[in-house]
Amino acid sequence: MTSIPPPKPASALPVTTTPSPSRRAGSTVRIDSAQLFGGAVEVQIDHHGAIYRLKQTALGKLILTK
């Protein structure tokens, strides 16, 4: 059985401030939620200067609020 490495803390995820020229408009990026949250219950997302909160509920659902 292969062990799964622990998720990286959200601060360890790569952050880019400009879109990559190799990404086309409308392309999709998939990020595993365990890696995104890094063990936390909530992450804050800065989207064009507005801060959004993405929270995990006790039932494993996601809630996004501004």
pLDDT in tens, 16-25: 555 555 666 7
| Domains of the chain, residue spans | 40-66
Task: Give the chain's residues under pLDDT 50.
Answer: none
C-beta separation of 63 from 54 below 8 A: yes
Residue 42 three-state SS: strand
CA angle 53, 59, 65 (to 5 degrees): 15
C-beta separation of 43 from 10 below 8 A: yes
Amino acid (1-letter code) at residue 7: P
What's this model's pTM, rounded to 2 decimal places?
Answer: 0.59
Residue 11 three-state SS: helix
Cα 63 from Cα 55, distance rounded (Å) = 5
